[in-house]
Chain A
Amino acid sequence: MGDRPFESHEGAPALAARPVVEIRDLTYSYRGRREPALRGVNLEIREGEFVVIMGPSGAGKSTLCAALNGLVPHFFRGRMQGEVRIRGRSTGEGRVGEFAREVGLVFQDFEAQLFSTNVALEVAFGPENFRVDREEILRRTEEALARVRLQGFENRQPATLSGGQKQRLAIASVLAMEPHILCLDEPTTDLDPIGKQEVLQISAELRRRRDMTLIVVEHETEETLEADRIVILRDGEVVCDRPAREVLRDVELLEENRVMPLQVARFFHGLGVRKEELPLTPREGVNQFRERGFRVDERCYEELLRRDEEREKSYGEPLIEVEELAFSYPGGVAALEDVNLTVRRGEFLAVVGQNGSGKTTLVKHFNGLLMPTRGSVRVGGEETREQGVRLLGRRIGYVFQNPDHQIFSDTVFDEVAFGPKLRGLGEGEVKERVTEALAAVGLEGYEEEDPFGLTKGERQRVAVASILAGRPEVVILDEPTTGLDYAEQRSMMELVRRLNESGSTIIVVTHTMWVVAEYAHRAVVMRDGRVALSGSVREVLSHEKELVEASLRPPHIVSMSNELGHPALSVEEMLYITERDGR
């Protein structure tokens, strides 16, 4: 992977005299919004290029994608200035339907864009609309499904596929229209690591075809190593448009623009290595670490282990005890088998695993949303069956993945006050708790705001505050960082860390591995409804082989340090244990 910087750049330009995408001075404002979503964007993309678009939430990435096939300005209401030309033709001149054949657009939300009752019909839908011959459609369906490796799935219902399969199907359904340009808007955001890899593999294969231009919005930097170019958008403007490896080495630029830098690059940057020489992948990192004669300082490493141990000793009494838990959904599908687990007061536990591995099913037993089929779950020494959701809800707070599945009030205050009011607290007490909860999530002064007008990151915080207002002993967070940009993810997790430090027991369900590495103390890896690995995060992440078997992958810095024989969980830890000359 990745030892051929700029190669395709040197090889490609001769191919296309004219760019396939030309964007000139594009400014776009949605109706009813004061700030334009895009301002003065200029961008050229040549045939066969692989361009990644990055940037914080609200930077205009999705608007840019929508401008490529004419959804902007034809579908959305707003004002557009400037011009977008696709293979020479201005999008202003035709309808979305006409450009849909040139630019295939795949959205992040794969649930909402699939609507057929079987896989083959889903793929056929696009070409059907363009009056392609029936025989030709059947041929294209077969080819598109082969390309995303879904052969043999023709008769399956899309609803029964895994996340990665669904997103691949969405890609196939667009490929069947045989577009020259494929634009994927955050295709991997909602996917677990294996699903991400499946989709990325497909895009890597597609870009090998010279005539396919690939534009991908992505915010996980680790996934952009294969790109030719990276374009960074911020506040609707292009702030950077340079070869990918050059951008990835510019740690400061990325951080400034709220994009997560590559951990390996950040580590060597921290050691003062020059920009041009920064390694990017764990492999490159290990090599350079050795070449430069760096060593791991054993004493510092011992100190890390000692701190781990000390923290482990500080935990209180067992709060949640799971014994021989088995659970089957009605209809007999076994979701959990033989799970044993104890959560003690003050812990920070991460439950990880791919989609469908049973991690959410497991934690739903902790607050009584699900009851064991066999075995027992005790909270505070008493069976959950005896307590029920209402009673358990006072001790165990559960923040659901999507804040929009719970927000309903006109003001932030009412939303956060909902739980305490239901529990019959007096007005003064309710007010006190809301103030306290909003302070904890950093939303003081937002009491009178309309929650639906907030950003996703802020809505997520409102959801957390509404749980904290119940003053639970344990807070469960289901995928708290999904759909947030890097800066928002960081601040969300810092918030969770503060909660933990002030005495709350935290359980996070996630597949974002750097979040696990940097924030959690202990990890439980679920696989096919069973506990595959369990232990301190350092220990669990050092078992790379078993993690891969559970479709997970440690973050880059952990991979690199594993290779060096001393698992470090963050760039900071790695810097701490690295011994260099002159220290």
Chain B
Amino acid sequence: MNPYLYLDRDTFVHRLDPRTKMFLLLGAFVLVFIYLNPLYQLAVLAVILFFGYLAKMLVNLKRIWFILVMISVMTVLLWSIFGSGETPLFLFFELESLLYGLAIALRIVGAIIAGMIFLSTTRNEEIATGLVKLGIPYRFAFAVSTALRLVPTIAATGSTIGQAQRSRGLDLESGNIIQRIRKNVPLLIPVFVSTIRSTNVFSMALESKGFGAGKERTYVLELHITRRDVLAMVLFLLVLAAALAIRLAGYGGLEGFTR
């Protein structure tokens, strides 16, 4: 299995400078925070998904659809239960708290998908180089890209370990919550040990390739802010401004919801 989220496609999103994409990602995080009305949130999500479609990365969402669904269901449920509104539906559910829960769920899903679009279209090295170009020290930028790389690798090791322990009779699906948590010990310890071992080799390999040998280093990847980047940023700023204007004009809020 491919441990990376990055999809090597040739789309205009891929060709954007990583700094532009970081800007767009931050913008997307602002965008999802503007509205409280689930209908408006849905429109925001549609914009994000359309962008993902242009980047040809929607297949990557298959990997996390389960997490997205779980988060959505939990969010809607919790807000419906703990929030309060004016229009009772049934039991202790009110229309406003349900809508609010929906909006928050869409907000979280939108933010995650925006992050996925970024990771699916930007190489680790581009992220690191982009951060360096923004003035972040190289060591820190490299650490960020290493962390991004480590997550899928650990997931792959975890899956092998899961198979090994299931072969020995470990059954993760039965028992109450505490029993289930305890059953993860045979998975977590080997994952931990294997990760530490391979991280050790990794750091030796880094040293052996002269990581941090001098203060300065060359970057093979060249980054250029082109007209395309400027255009993308301006367009996106316009969308953001329009979205803010609509909200300030009094649309897209949610009346009658109290915590």
Contacts and interface: CB of A to CB of B under 8 A. Distances in A.
B190 interface: yes
Interface string A144-180: 0000000000010101100000000000011001000
Given A97-B207, A105-B208, A115 B202 contact: yes
Contacts of A124: 220
B201 A117 contact: no
Nearest to A389: B166
Contacts of B198: 109, 111-112
Interface string B119-160: 000011100000000000000000000100100000001001
B240 interface: no
B201 A112 contact: yes
14 contacts: A109-B198, A115-B149, A121-B123, A128-B217, A130-B214, A130-B217, A134-B220, A173-B209, A177-B209, A369-B167, A407-B190, A408-B190, A452-B193, A470-B168
A14 interface: no
Given A95-B213, A408-B189, A107 B4 contact: no
Contacts of A407: 189-190, 193
Given A97-B210, A100-B209, A422 B168 contact: yes
- 9 smallest beta-carbon distances between A and B, as pairs: A97-B213, A113-B205, A408-B189, A112-B201, A129-B210, A112-B198, A126-B209, A398-B167, A422-B169
Contacts of A160: 2
Contact of A127 (B2, B8, B212, B218): B218
Contact of B190 (A107, A389, A404): A404
A524 interface: no
A117 B194 contact: no
A129 B218 CA distance: 7
Contacts of A138: 220
B208 A174 contact: yes
B72 to A, nearest CB: 23
SS class, residues of chain A in contact with chain B? helix
A259 interface: no
B222 to A, nearest CB: 8
A418 B204 contact: no
A30 interface: no
Contacts of B171: 390, 422
B170 interface: yes
Given A113-B202, A155-B8, A408-B185, A126 B210 contact: yes
Given A71-B204, A134-B220, A390-B171, 14 more contacts: A112-B205, A121-B220, A129-B212, A131-B214, A159-B3, A369-B163, A369-B167, A393-B167, A397-B167, A404-B197, A408-B190, A419-B168, A466-B168, A470-B168
A120 B149 CA distance: 17
Interface string B13-36: 000000000000000000000000
A134 B217 CA distance: 10
Contacts of A125: 209
Contacts of A111: 198
